[in-house]
Amino acid sequence: MAAAGGVALGLGLSSSSFLSGSYKRSSLKPKSSNSAFGGRRRKESAAGSTTTRAAAWPLPDDLFLAVGVGLPCTVMECGDIIYRSTLPRSDGLTVTPPGLALALATVSYLWATPGVAPGFFDMFVLAFLERLFRPSFRRDDFVLGKKLGEGAFGVVYKASLADPKAASKPKQGDLVLKKATEYGAVEIWMNERVRRACASSCAEFVYGFLEKKSQGKGRGEYWLIWRFEGEETLADLMLSKEFPYNVETKILGEVQDLPKGLERENSIIQTIMRQLLFALDGLHSTGIVHRDMKPQNVIFSEGSRTFKIIDLGAATDLRVGINYIPKEFLLDPRYAAPEQYIMSTQTPSAPSAPVATALSPVLWQMNLPDRFDMYSVGLIFLQMAFPTLRPDSSLIQFNRQLKRCEYDLNAWRASVEPRASQELRRGFELLDLDEGIGWELLTSMVRYKARQRTSAKAALAHPYFNREGLLGLSVMQNLRLQFFRATQKDYSEAAKWVIKLMARSGTQTDGGFTEAQLQQMREIKPRKGSTQRNALASILRLQRKIVSTLNESMDDLNRQRKSLWWSRWIPREE
């Protein structure tokens, strides 16, 4: 009966692995050379097209038992059933070109911005560990100092620890405390995410907690704690007449031994821009879009001598779909890009966090949401170069002018340059240094179409940040510049040109398109009166309605699911 037991165990295994098991060769001796088990033939089509194979044993009472299912030997390697040496080796992986391509594609997808694999690691390992070792604080642990600011999302104070000697509390030094009135939990999540993914991009976050209301009624308040980075924001520094020289000493620790002038100012602005883009690239690479980039939200960190980003209250984490609501409208009109939404309005609200993470590279590539911040940084660059555009009123006026020029900076320049003031002309001169490389970078950021704007990573690789300017570019850097220029071109103009060309040369006999046909291609409108067309239109309308209803119900479901998911991460009341 040992054989019967063995057969039962062997169900579903291929005959090769089956035979390398506990059978003794003698007990399996076939009666004929082409039948593995003698007595019965395998149920296998001659062409090998069937995948079902029956194997049976003669048992003592001529009883046949057990059926195995496996691939036919025409498909898989079975080897000679008697001599093991002829069986295929089971020593591991065979690398094939399609397999390798598939593996590479999978790895690139998992690591493409904003990063599916790092996202899962962050969500299920790092965030979990951080929660275990999180220190605990209460509002009473701090003494509030002067008010630093009050915005739409809360009140910010300078603060210090009530008992600096207390164990398990953060190191000495001043802190910043924010009592969040809105989106407190989201801001805590964002800051914790940034601390794990790109700590140097933003002000150092210490902790966030939920404090019960003193009377025990209501939801309680969220408090956020950061290390105090410094007294001045970029906005404060830009207000000074000394800008950008007032930043030079802060960044370098000393004044450069150079005469004051455009070259020196340009190199200081370059350093500020590099630091800003570096910080922003850190956020974008991890799937966070700030949505409120402005000089007021860039603080100079005295400790690291760099500019850091603050105020993640309006930020959105597209890796896990947190605070991402397509219909939401959150922006500062002075610095906001012309598009109202960072994601297409056709995109439904993000699904549950793990699903959102898995799909995030697709959504990111479809919408390029980071380009919203790039427009704002472009405006900061513009304000640094043109002192006249620094006051709010001038920036608002500039925005109006740019809108009139259809967001084309070159058109704006052409309209203002002939009657420009001395100060405005100086700004153009600064950006025109090194064959206009600064102007080129600026125009690649401030564009109407998000897709045509450069990313923070590409901007950092721009030759503007090369110290010696264009003349000092190596062959590789020159190639990179050519590539950058090629990717920045507006190909819609080229498409229009091709269409025009086709119209001119096209005739029906030549097989080309006539002007009338092209017009039809441009605006395909349904003709009236066709019953077939009307029926098709009704079906399409119905289909659209079903899809939008489904999306809305999915959104509702996801909102409920997400609120459950959220409760795991939001700090509980202390």
Ligand X SMILES: Nc1ncnc2c1ncn2[C@@H]1O[C@H](COP(=O)(O)OP(=O)(O)OP(=O)(O)O)[C@@H](O)[C@H]1O
* Residues forming the active site: 292
Task: Summarize as ranges the residues that interact with ligand X (CB under 6 A).
Answer: 148-154, 156, 176, 203, 226, 228-230, 233, 296-297, 299, 310-311, 313
Alpha carbon distance 221, 3 (integer Å) = 71
Q: Which two tokens stand for residue 359?
A: 């799909």
SS3 559: helix
Helix, strand, coil percentages (3-state) for the chain, rounded to 5, are 50, 10, 40
Nearer to ligand X, 152 or 495 (CB): 152
Please report, for residues 311, 331, 359, 383, the alpha-carbon distance to residue 392 in angstroms, rounded to integers and kept in the order given.
20, 16, 40, 10
Alpha carbon distance 277, 195 (integer Å) = 18
Nearer to ligand X, 302 or 515 (CB): 302
φ, ψ at 245 (rounded to 5°): -65, -30
Question: Shortest gap between Cβ of 124 and ligand X (angstroms)?
Answer: 29
Length of the chain: 574
Question: Shortest gap between Cβ of 228 and ligand X (angstroms)?
Answer: 5
Please state, as a whole number, how many other Cβ atoms lie within 10 Å of the Cβ of residue 237. Answer: 20
Nearer to ligand X, 149 or 387 (CB): 149
Environment class of residue 145 by beta-carbon count within 10 Å: exposed (0-12), middle (13-18) or buried (19+)? middle
Nearer to ligand X, 78 or 177 (CB): 177
Nearest CA to 64 out of 35, 44, 31, 39 is that of 39
Quick check: 60 and 87 in contact, CB under 8 A? no
Which of 110-142 are b and which e, b meaning 16 or more Cβ less than 10 Å from the residue's Cβ? eeebbbbebbbebbeebbeeeeeeeeebebebb
Please report, for residues 21, 50, 51, 52, the alpha-carbon distance to residue 75 in angstroms, rounded to integers and kept in the order given.
22, 10, 9, 12
H or E segment and range at residue 132: helix 127-132
Q: Closest CB to ligand X belongs to which residue?
A: 151
Nearer to ligand X, 309 or 384 (CB): 309
Question: Shortest gap between Cβ of 224 and ligand X (angstroms)?
Answer: 9
Please state, as a whole number, how many other Cβ atoms lie within 10 Å of the Cβ of residue 365. Answer: 10
Question: Shortest gap between Cβ of 168 and ligand X (angstroms)?
Answer: 21
Question: Shortest gap between Cβ of 216 and ligand X (angstroms)?
Answer: 27
φ, ψ at 188 (rounded to 5°): -65, -45
Question: Shortest gap between Cβ of 202 and ligand X (angstroms)?
Answer: 9
Nearer to ligand X, 230 or 571 (CB): 230
Question: Shortest gap between Cβ of 225 and ligand X (angstroms)?
Answer: 9
Say if residue 178 carries a ligand binding annotation. yes
Nearest CA to 174 out of 189, 157, 194, 188 is that of 157
Alpha carbon distance 376, 163 (integer Å) = 41
Nearer to ligand X, 37 or 183 (CB): 183
Q: Residue ranges for the binding site for ATP? A: 178
Residues of each annotated binding site:
178
